[in-house]
């Protein structure tokens, strides 16, 4: 399973059904996820599916929808 590290994550903090996060809360959320490492159950060669799975991992971890992110591929496992 590939391992990635995320950075520059931006969230949609207006779409949770519980109200908006303040700018301070949003920045804190972004700082907390910066550099987080995930194992992604998708093939990096299938770019769209791979990035969708990364997005799902980030959303699952934080509880917020993702607008954008960057990542580094760390390892490609068996």
Question: 59-78: per-residue pLDDT in tens?
Answer: 999 989 899 999 999 987 65
Report how many domains make up the chain.
1
**23-33 helix and 47-62 helix, angle to the nearest 10 degrees:** 120
- On the question of pLDDT at 29 being above 90, the answer is yes
pTM of the model: 0.86
Report residue 31 CA to chain centroid gap: 12
Q: What is the dihedral of CA 37, 68, 25, 27, to 10 degrees?
A: 80
């Amino acid at each position: 399973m590939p391992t990635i590290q995320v950075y520059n994550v931006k969230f949609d903090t207006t779409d949770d059904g519980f109200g908006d996060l303040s700018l301070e809360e949003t920045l804190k959320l972004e700082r907390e996820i910066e550099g987080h490492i995930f194992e992604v159950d998708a093939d990096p060669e299938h770019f769209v599916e791979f990035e969708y799975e990364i997005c799902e991992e980030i959303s699952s971890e934080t509880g917020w929808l993702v607008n954008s992110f960057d990542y580094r591929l760390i390892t490609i496992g068996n």
